Structure 1
Amino acid sequence: MAEQIRVVVVGAKGRMGRETVKAIINDEALAFVGAVDRTLDGVPVSQVLGLDAGEVQFSTDLEKTLLETQADVMVDFTTPAVMKGNIDKAIALGVRPVVGTTGMTPEEIAAWDAACKERGIGGLIAPNFAIGAILMMRFAAEAAKFLPHVEIIEMHHDQKLDAPSGTAIKTLELIAQEREKMGQGHPNEHETIAGSRGGDYEGMRVHSVRLPGYVAHQQVIFGGLGQTLTIRHDSINRESFMPGVVLSCKEVMKYEGMVYGLENLLF
Structure 2
Amino acid sequence: MLNTASAQVPEPIRVVVAGPNGRMGRAMMEGLPQQSGLHVVGGLSRKDDDEAIAAVLAAADVIVDFTHPATSPALLERALDAGVRPVIGTSGLAEEVLELVDGKAREQGIGAVWAPHFRLAAVLMIRFAGIAARYLDHVEIIEAHHSTKADAPSGVARTMARMMRDVRGSDFVDPTVEKETLDGVRGGVHGGVRVHSIRVPDIVGWHEVMFSGDQEQLTIRHHETGRESYVPAVAAAVQKTMAPGVIGLVRGYDAVIGLAD
1:96 pairs, out of 81, 85, 95, with 85
Are 2:182 and 1:207 aligned?
no
Are 2:29 and 1:21 aligned?
yes
* Contact 1:251-1:265 within 8 A present in 2 as well: yes
* Contact 1:91-1:119 within 8 A present in 2 as well: yes
* Contact 2:162-2:191 within 8 A present in 1 as well: no
- Larger mean CA deviation between 11-20 and 173-182 belongs to 173-182
* Contact 2:32-2:40 within 8 A present in 1 as well: yes
Tell me, in whole angstroms, the C-alpha distance in 2 between the residues paired with 1:253 and 1:174: 28
The structure-2 alpha-carbon separation of the partners of 1:117 and 1:230, relative to structure 1 and needing over 3 Å to count, comes to same
Cα deviations by residue, 1:143-182 (Å, 9 ceiling, x for unpaired): 1111131110000000101000011111112212211332
* Contact 1:148-1:179 within 8 A present in 2 as well: no
Aligned AA for 2:137?
P
Q: Which runs of 5 or more residues in structure 1 are unaligned? A: 42-58
Shift of residue 132, structure 1, vs aligned partner: 1.1
Tell me, in whole angstroms, the C-alpha distance in 2 between the residues paired with 1:263 and 1:169: 17
- Larger mean CA deviation between 114-123 and 186-195 belongs to 186-195
Shift of residue 233, structure 1, vs aligned partner: 0.4
Tell me, in whole angstroms, the C-alpha distance in 1 between the residues paired with 2:51 and 2:123: 33
TM-score (norm 2): 0.90
Count of residue correspondences? 248
Give the percent of matched residue pairs that are identical in Structure 1 and Structure 2.
41
Shift of residue 238, structure 1, vs aligned partner: 0.6
Cα deviations by residue, 1:125-145 (Å, 9 ceiling, x for unpaired): 111111111111111111111
Counterpart of 1:63 in structure 2 is: 54
Aligned ranges 1:4-43 → 2 under 5 Å: 4-39=12-47
Shift of residue 240, structure 1, vs aligned partner: 2.6
Cα deviations by residue, 1:192-220 (Å, 9 ceiling, x for unpaired): 11111110111110000000121111001
Aligned AA for 1:234?
H
Counterpart of 1:75 in structure 2 is: 64
**SS in structure 1 at match of 2:229:** helix
Are 2:232 and 1:243 aligned?
yes
Aligned ranges 1:1-267 → 2 under 5 Å: 1-39=9-47, 61-67=52-58, 69=59, 71-182=60-171, 184-187=173-176, 189-254=178-243, 255-266=246-257, 267=259
Q: Which runs of 5 or more residues in structure 2 are unaligned? A: 1-8
Tell me, in whole angstroms, the C-alpha distance in 2 between the residues paired with 1:212 and 1:117: 40
Tell me, in whole angstroms, the C-alpha distance in 1 between the residues paired with 2:219 and 2:51: 44
Shift of residue 183, structure 1, vs aligned partner: 5.1
Cα deviations by residue, 1:77-122 (Å, 9 ceiling, x for unpaired): 1111110011100110110001111222222212221111110011
Tell me, in whole angstroms, the C-alpha distance in 1 between the residues paired with 2:54 and 2:165: 39
* Aligned-pair Cα RMSD in Å: 1.7
- Larger mean CA deviation between 153-162 and 166-175 belongs to 166-175
